[in-house]
Amino acid sequence: MKYTPSIEPANYESILFTDLYKLTMCWAVLKCFPNVKVKYTFNDRNNTVYPKGFDVELRRVIDGFRNRTLSKQRKKEFAEKCPFLPMAFIDFLEVYRFDPSEVGVIQDDEGHLILTISGYWYRTILWEVPLMAAICDLFYKMTNQVIDVDADTITEIHRKKASQFRMNSIPFAEFGTRRAYSPRNHENVVKTFVDYAEDTLLGTSNVELACAYGIKAIGTFAHEWVSAHAAMFGYSHPNRHAMQSWVSVYNGNLGIALPDTFTTDAFLVDFDSMFANLFTGTRHDSGDPLVYMDKMIAHYKKLGIDPTTKTITYSDGMNWEEVEKVMAYRVGEIRRGPAIGTWFTNDLPDIKPMNIVIKLTECDGLPAVKISDNPIKAIGDKKTIEFAMWQVGQQIDAYTKK
């Protein structure tokens, strides 16, 4: 298959220079929870010390976000690429403008960055991905971390990775917007994959680049969707509430579920026959990937569902070694494929990738938390996390005793 690039070049200031899951969740929020207010909090897992004045420069970048728009050409391409989104929402994106007052940013005396995003959920949900990309880009510029190799050498790095997937006939997706070295390098990655791995490249999470290069935009929902439902409706079966809302909006489209917000074991309690049949698969994002595969295969079989008809998307810190591991395990028993971020878009000579996240921490005036299958990834109010762990633990115990 040969992809046909768009007639309009990629625009890093486009409203679509973000991941699809933020746009799909945005529409779901508009439809289901238009009056809910939320708060997001920035977390740097590397405890990075940012250069002096970083907050001032970042504020200038944030203020510039108000100029991001959706062109007529991109609007047309986006509508054609994502028919599961109504034209009313696409019209909304055309007139939407970022409000910089929703973002608070300061730098403490030690140089650490403190950043929050507050406001209506349907508006603030669009900040996370492009803002993280902007933070990475600005950090490398202000710390003079310039790649000391020529463009051909960088392209060769990307080409070798593309060739690995093509020669091994492994389908894969690119998910690297949030922590890319720069938007230009990100585009170079996608362009190289289109040129050298066209038969195995499933698509990209970045909607602007998907439109520019005529490939599929990939994404469904993130942890915040489940975290918000738990905050609003309680920690009794939060995944069930989240999936019910999702299905009410998308009617079976966008059927990859994210299970680990409150641990995979808790998710499986709610992933009953109806949801397991309706959703085409799940996305692994924390914990041992092989143990996860064991659990999913066993769960499908328990429900009388053929696991070979279902898919696991692996997205937790994937690199070639991890890809080889998950592709070689229990071959033929369930479909699987990697969705790779930082290893694609920020794997360059002498550059240390950033490890930053922006997570939902408050919803409708209540704490919003995430537990994960990896304790290191837990985020939010500690007392709420402890309560959530107890609550879902009770549900898991009751389920296993049946």
Question: Token match 């996305």: residue?
Answer: 283
Closest C-alpha among 223, 240, 242 to residue 357: 223
Confidence class of residue 97 from pLDDT cuts 50, 70 and 90? very high
Task: Give the whole-angstrom CA distance, residue 361 versus residue 373.
Answer: 18
Strands of 356-363's sheet in order across: 103-107, 113-120, 37-44, 356-363, 366-367
List of residues 6+ apart from 385 with CB closer than 8 A: 369, 371, 378
More confident residue, 15 or 152: 15
In angstroms, the CA 191 to CA 185 distance is 10
Which pLDDT belongs to residue 401? 78
pLDDT digits (tens, 9 = 90+) for 258-289: 999 999 999 999 999 999 999 999 999 999 99
pLDDT of residue 3: 58
Inter-residue contact 178 to 127 (CB < 8 Å)? no
Residue 395 or residue 108, greater confidence: 108
125: three-class secondary structure by DSSP: coil
Per-residue pLDDT, 4: 66
Summarize pLDDT for 232-250 with one digit per residue, the tens: 999 999 999 999 999 999 9
| High-pLDDT (> 90) share of the chain, % | 92
pTM for this model (two decimals):
0.96
Checking if the pLDDT of 374 tops 50, the result is: yes
- For residue 40, the cross-strand partners are 117, 360
Would you say residue 2 has pLDDT above 70?
no
**pLDDT (tens digit, 9 = 90+) per residue, 65-95?**
999 999 999 999 999 999 999 999 999 999 9
Q: State the pLDDT at residue 13.
A: 97
The pLDDT > 70 percentage for the chain reads: 99
Max CA separation in the chain (angstroms): 62
Count of CB atoms situated within 10 Å of the CB of 92 = 15
Three-state secondary structure string covering 295-343? HHHHHHHHCCCCHHHCEEEECCCCCHHHHHHHHHCCCCCCEEEEEECHH
CB 139 within 8 A of CB 112: no
Q: Among residues 201, 204, 206, 179, which one has the least CA distance to residue 346?
A: 179
- CA-to-CA dists, residue 356 to 186, 212, 258, angstroms: 17, 27, 20
User: What is the per-residue pLDDT for 399?
Assistant: 82
Report the pLDDT averaged over residues 30-58: 98
Q: Locate tokens 């989104």: which residue?
A: 85
Q: How far apart are alpha carbons 200 and 272 in whole angstroms?
A: 32
Q: What domains can you pick out in the chain, each with its CATH number?
A: 20-147+357-369 (3.20.140.10), 151-351+394-400 (3.20.140.10)
Kindly indicate the confidence band of residue 1, based on its pLDDT and cuts at 50, 70 and 90. Answer: very low
First-to-last C-alpha distance (Å) of the chain: 49
The mean pLDDT value of the chain amounts to 96
Q: Is a pLDDT exceeding 70 seen at residue 113?
A: yes
